[in-house]
Structure 1
Amino acid sequence: MSTPPLRLFFALACPPELARTITAWRDSLYLDGRPVAAGNLHLTLAFLGSQPRGRIDELKALAASLQAPAFNLPLESLHRWRNGLLYLAPSQTPAALLTLTQQLRTDLLNTGFNLESRPFHPHLTLARHCPLFTVDANPSFDWPVSEFALFASENTARGTHYRLLERWQLLPSGGAIVSPRNSSTSLQRP
């Protein structure tokens, strides 16, 4: 009997304090839609989809070999896609985020993983199924990004649950790579 595959993705998990600040700001706008819980806020770097469990160690080794610098991610634009997804984004994507994403995607493709072909559009989802809105909002959040992580998306009776498999520190300015840290932290979508 084989074990079922996992739905995997690499992402930046929003730090808890910043996530609470962002969701409090979002809630103050009194928007319709299904809000994303503070503990579920993340920015996807690469979505891998369904993958055999046997490839997890390969993904962890690939991520551990990345050498990308830490950076600051300003979130100062509020947008909504036609499908009703409300999100925050930087007005200009930091070069370090593009470098991290490109290195990760290149290594994944070179190792035989299939990735979505659409261009990378960094965003932090705030709500789903949000109708058109006319909100005069001026978000201004600074996210100090110092690590990235590999998550498994799991369906449960209580909704989708994002389980952190492992995370890796980004290079401090002029520093060396810090070893990976395991954690039982998870993100859960309501």
Structure 2
Amino acid sequence: MARLFLAINLPQDVRAKIFETFSKKLKRYEGLKVVPKDNLHITLLFLGEVPDEKVEEIKNKISKIKFPKFNIKIGKIGHFGNRVVWIYADSEDNLLRKLSVKLQEALQIHDERFHPHITLCRARKPGKKIKYIVESLSKINFKEEITVEKFSLMRSFLKSPAPEYKEIFSVNLT
């Protein structure tokens, strides 16, 4: 079995800027697991545990996707429930969301609630403080813009203290 997700890997300088801007502030809060700098990415679609024999089929399906290069803006802070704090990524004409939907369609996975994001941290235990943390981080004026030229099929290896991510396939945008 392989733990897989589809992502946009961020340029190293953008990862560094996000990490430097938010990690010290997040480390002040007890019970949070801050995402390491090298693991910061835009999640397009989480696939979960996939049988090894299905990986080639996934590569084949996503390789057929034709999509134009586009720019995205990163900056707005949000959260999923009481556990995850993230940065929202958005694009003109909603192209980032459209790419995510196209991937869902190609792989026959449908999740209306999902939207592309960059996970900053996870709470070890659910708690009400997540909303307070989001309010606090929202006061930071963080804005970054990047051009998306490809997306990647990533494999996650669960290790301690943090998972290791490896790109196993990528698709260039046109």
Q: Taking structure 2 as the reference length, what is the TM-score of the superposition? A: 0.81
Aligned-residue sequence identity (percent) comes to 25
Residue aligned with 1:39, SS? helix
Give structure 1 regions of 4+ aligned residues with deviation exceeding 4 angstroms: 91-94
Which stretch of the first structure deviates more once superposed, 141-150 or 27-36? Answer: 27-36
Give the match for residue 26 of structure 1. Answer: 22
The alpha-carbon distance between structure 1 residues 28 and 144, as it changes in their structure 2 partners (threshold 3 A), is farther
Contact 2:34 2:122 in 1 (8 A): yes
Give the number of aligned pairs.
Answer: 162
Counterpart of 2:7, as a letter, is A
Structure whose CA Rg is larger: 1
Q: CA deviation at 1:116?
A: 5.7
Q: CA deviation at 1:91?
A: 6.2
Question: How do 1:78-89 and structure 2 match up within 5 A?
Answer: 78-89=77-88
* RMSD of Structure 2 on Structure 1 (CA): 2.2
Give the match for residue 126 of structure 2. Answer: none
Question: How do 1:66-77 and structure 2 match up within 5 A?
Answer: 66-77=65-76
Are 2:16 and 1:17 aligned? no
The alpha-carbon distance between structure 1 residues 142 and 92, as it changes in their structure 2 partners (threshold 3 A), is closer
| Structure with the higher fraction of residues in strand conformation | 2
Question: How do 1:1-190 and structure 2 match up within 5 A?
Answer: 5-27=1-23, 29=25, 31-32=28-29, 33-90=32-89, 94-109=93-108, 115=109, 117-129=111-123, 131=130, 132-133=132-133, 134-135=135-136, 136-171=139-174
Ranges in structure 2 where 5+ consecutive residues have no aligned partner:
124-128
| Structure with the higher fraction of residues in helix conformation | 2
Counterpart of 1:18, as a letter, is V
Residue aligned with 2:22, SS? helix
The alpha-carbon distance between structure 1 residues 143 and 107, as it changes in their structure 2 partners (threshold 3 A), is same
The alpha-carbon distance between structure 1 residues 162 and 116, as it changes in their structure 2 partners (threshold 3 A), is farther
Counterpart of 1:51, as a letter, is V
